[in-house]
A and B are shown apart, each in its own frame.
Chain A
Amino acid sequence: MMQQDQLKSKPQAIKGSRLWLFALLFFLLLVVVGLNLSYGSVKIPLGDILKVLTGQEGVKESWAYIIQNYRLPKIATAILAGIALSASGLQMQTMFRNPLADPFILGINSGASLGVALAIMGASLAGGLFVPALNAAGGLGLILAASIGAGLVMGLILLVGKRVNNPTSLLILGLMFGHATSALVSLLIYFSAPEKVKAYNIWSYGAFSGVTWEQLHLFFPVILVALGILFFLPKGLNGLLLGEDYAKTMGLNVDRLRLLILLSASILSGTVTAFCGPIGFIGVAVPHIARNIFKTSNHKLLIPAVILIGAVVAVTADLIAQLPGSQFVLPINVITSLFGAPFVLWIVLKRKRGAASFNV
């Protein structure tokens, strides 16, 4: 047991070390962004990168082009996707009181995929009635379709999940929803024109590249709005940690809270899925990393923490996917799954040892 005077001196120390941690993480983000700009199929020296970024002359034109039109938007996408998936995963883990909840595992990505599949391929099915309207709106239609798909599955899980009080059942529920939506997607594929199927398949591999500056003009504000909702939720999320009953007796409007979480989390994961394809494991892993690094489950700290860590993890995953020094680029899901699956396994085993779910 700790000494009392030691305890009294602790709060200051914690506050200090946490600020330092945020600074460290930010520095880490700068480092991986720098590396990611530099490495790829061609290696570009740091000095030249800085020249391009600051708008100076004297850099190879092809390098400038690669940085401006390929690597920068890709990194921006990775950062946004990492933030969005992590923030979405954090909200779901708290709301479902389940350390394994994330958009991918609960089948919410599959819902988004179904939305996207409908948007890409549905035209030939629906006889061009309403789906083209989605496509006509360009990226926004896709975002809408994916978010609605994500929101629908999440709403369903919330409804049914109220009847199952056990974390494992909830995961199986998510798995089943995932299978059901995949079946619908397969049906769509079966009846669709080959070129549309190909477009869908390429999308479904998942990638941070391929998102243009123009699309980012849409991606960024949508994510910002969803994060804006989250900005108002730390108190409610902290209350939910004690369980719905306690939250209610503390005067929280739990129904409204759940609706806002549903809205924020499904826009976040739906939008990422629309632009980058289904990307696994970032959503489940990052909140755990944040809890372990910051030794807290207080959302006032966790939300900024997952935002920073999510960005670092996504940019790092993309960096590894480039296989620096080689001509190959791996799909991003290969990397997130290779690192993510053992991580989830570790969480499961840690639970088995009787440790409470969110403990660090």
Chain B
Amino acid sequence: MNHPLLRTTDLEVGHLNGKPAKKVVASGLNLDLLEGEFVCLVGPNGAGKSTLLRSMTGLLPVLGGEIEISGKKLAQFTRKELAYQISVVLTSPIEVGAMSVKELVAMGRFPFTGLFDRMSEKDWQIVHQALQMVGIEGFEERLIHKLSDGERQKVMIARALAQEPRILVLDEPTAYLDLPGRVSVMNLMRELSSEHGKTVLTSTHDLDLAMRSADRFWLMSAGGEIIQGAPEDLVLSGDFQRIFARDKVSFDSQNGHFSVANKGEEHVSLKGEGDARIWTERALQRIGFQVFDEIEGQPSLRIDIQEDEEGVYWEVNDKRTSQRFGSLGDLTSYFRSLKNQDNLNSD
């Protein structure tokens, strides 16, 4: 059984010196983070994810309750001692100017080097290992501002790793990245935990990716409560759907992703298999049709996915006519026009 590296008891987080002077964002938090696990802190915007992470890393004062790290209270750590326990990657892009990847990652050794920051052979070795772990060895001499956003974030993760912390805390590391960048950074965090045994805590808005990667979720509601659990458990219990409930957007618990809830009133039956079927279904759902298997017989519209020597085509039959479409683009624009006609008729 793993023991918690980090544990909170009745933790209260928020801001001091604000208006009002003390603004509580979340309270009564009893959380734990186990050694070697990958936890994603998820929740709607403004729930207080950053505030919680900043409190845990000593960047914000704790308003009440306790945070214990490796069995010792947070308040009893000096900055330097805390730097041995936790290292961070923050959301906002850094502006360091002309600095090489190697120089930046080497800053991770700050807690270990002396006043003049003299790096030993071993320090450089650790820097090199960190670069290897995030998969950017060979980038050592490149300048930070010449990297892509995704590469830069990986460098920041390498810096955090070079600090050899017991816990790696990341605050929305994927926020400024494009989709491939997001996937790759999320994968990297997954690997750091599963292959290198690192304990990783990150906040993220990429629920799809998080659900496929995280060992556990800390699911934070807009009101600041947190429910912990395996992502799948939270979906099954309905907590996940409840916390992310919005008008028109619903969580599809079968496919495991969010979709715009245009539950189509129009019905259509579809016959066909394979990739073509999956993407045809998606296209139809997008324009507000509910798709049924062919057997239903009820809907008046029927689509057959067929194939000839020129490729896939779609045959649409209603009560009167039969039409053939060469692409889903053509098919959907035809269906959209059908729908508009219906709307006109029903008015």
Point out the residue from A245, A250, A297 that lies within 8 Å of B97, measured CB to CB: A297
**Contact assessment for B142 and A7 in the assembled complex, using a CB-CB cutoff below 8 Å:** yes
How big is chain A's contact interface, by range?
A: 20 to 34
30 A-B contacts (beta carbon < 8 Å): A7-B139, A7-B141, A97-B95, A232-B116, A235-B110, A235-B116, A238-B117, A241-B97, A242-B107, A243-B90, A243-B92, A248-B58, A249-B57, A249-B83, A250-B83, A250-B107, A250-B163, A251-B78, A251-B81, A251-B82, A251-B111, A252-B79, A291-B97, A296-B98, A297-B97, A300-B117, A357-B95, A358-B96, A359-B145, A360-B98
Give, as a whole number of angstroms, the nearest-CB distance from B88 to chain A. Answer: 5
Give Cα A249–Cα B99 distance, bound, in whole angstroms: 20
Residues of A close to B139: CB separation below 8 A = 7
A356 at the interface (CB under 8 A from B): yes
The closest CB in chain B to the CB of A294 belongs to B98
Give Cα A14–Cα B100 distance, bound, in whole angstroms: 12
**Contact assessment for B82 and A4 in the assembled complex, using a CB-CB cutoff below 8 Å:** no
The closest CB in chain A to the CB of B97 belongs to A358
User: Which A residues between 311 and 360 are near B, CB-CB below 8 angstroms?
Assistant: 356-360
Residues of A close to B116: CB separation below 8 A = 232, 234-235
**Contact assessment for B99 and A297 in the assembled complex, using a CB-CB cutoff below 8 Å:** yes
Point out the residue from B90, B107, B163 that lies within 8 Å of A239, measured CB to CB: B107
Residues of A close to B206: CB separation below 8 A = none
Question: Which residues of B line the A interface, CB within 8 A?
Answer: 57-59, 78-84, 86-88, 90, 92, 94-99, 103-104, 107-108, 110-111, 113, 115-117, 138-142, 145, 163
A10 at the interface (CB under 8 A from B): yes
Asked whether A291 and B83 contact (CB < 8 A) given A7-B140, A249-B58, the answer is no
Residue of A7, A291, A297 most packed against chain B (CB within 10 A): A297
Residues of A close to B113: CB separation below 8 A = 235
Asked whether A246 and B90 contact (CB < 8 A) given A235-B117, A241-B96, A297-B96, the answer is yes
Point out the residue from A242, A253, A356 that lies within 8 Å of B79, measured CB to CB: A253
A221 at the interface (CB under 8 A from B): no
Asked whether A251 and B79 contact (CB < 8 A) given A10-B141, A232-B115, the answer is yes
Asked whether A358 and B88 contact (CB < 8 A) given A248-B58, A249-B58, the answer is no
Residue of B58, B103, B110 most packed against chain A (CB within 10 A): B110
The closest CB in chain B to the CB of A297 belongs to B97
A18 at the interface (CB under 8 A from B): no
Point out the residue from A11, A97, A232, A245 that lies within 8 Å of B59, measured CB to CB: A245
**Contact assessment for B107 and A295 in the assembled complex, using a CB-CB cutoff below 8 Å:** no
Give Cα A248–Cα B82 distance, bound, in whole angstroms: 10
**Contact assessment for B98 and A246 in the assembled complex, using a CB-CB cutoff below 8 Å:** no
